[in-house]
Amino acid sequence: MNISKYKHIIWDWNGTLLDDAWLCLKIVNSLLADRQLPEISEDYYQQTFNFPIIKYYQKLGFDFSSEPFETISTEFIEEYEAKRHQCELREDALNILDRICQSSLTQSILSASKSSYLLQTITELGLQQNFTTINGLDNHHAFSKLEVGKTFIAEQKISPTEILMIGDTIHDVEVAEAMGVECCLIPSGHQSQERLSACGVPVINHLSELF
């Protein structure tokens, strides 16, 4: 996969650049155990995880008639924020971001994470200078980043055909299609390679394959 034919790269954050699937699984199992629900395996997580998060939680057995989704979502994000410093960038992420910065391409972030949390994490890692914009949601419930993506595209002076989105979930493909841009996926542990390969877009195993 050669990204030199594009003018702009849109990165997903969680999973794609930040290796955090292991932490998400750990927290979800903690939430399940606290409610006397069966914990899930890594394989089941990869076969089940999807957006919007509320539907994924329903599949896991959370009962929103007795406990609002917002309560569980807030509990998850509080635990995630307390432990996210344990997550590292994916292998080659720094090198790839630097190489793109040194090229004629620009790059941005499009995430289903809350904007304030997203910006704080990226700033703490010293990466904010790599991106022209950092786009997230105005809440931490991870419903969808589709509308944010469409707004971003409408504001660009670059043709959608010259933009590549790089993500790690089926939702990234859905968002890319809605924006009219091409998409490339990389397995991160959030969804299985089998599910990603069925999307019909290029799938790479390492970020280094982008050059």
The domain ranges of the chain are 3-19+88-210, 21-86
pTM, full prediction:
0.92
CA 43 – CA 144 distance, rounded (Å): 24
Task: Provide, rounded to the nearest whole percent, the portion of the chain with pLDDT above 70.
Answer: 97
| pLDDT digits 0-9 by tens, 156-200 | 889 999 999 999 999 999 999 999 999 999 999 999 999 999 999
Nearest Cα neighbor of 44 from 32, 31, 60 is 60
Write the Ramachandran bin of 92: left for phi over 0, alpha for psi from -120 to 50, otherwise beta.
left
The structure tokens 């006397």 sit at 36
Q: Is 3-19+88-210 a CATH 3.90.1640.30 domain?
A: no
Helix (H, G, I), strand (E, B) or coil at 47: helix
Helix (H, G, I), strand (E, B) or coil at 18: strand
Structure-block tokens of residue 128: 């904010």
Task: Indicate the DSSP class of residue 39.
Answer: P
CA 169 – CA 185 distance, rounded (Å): 7
| pLDDT digits 0-9 by tens, 59-108 | 999 999 999 999 999 999 999 999 999 999 999 999 999 999 999 899 99
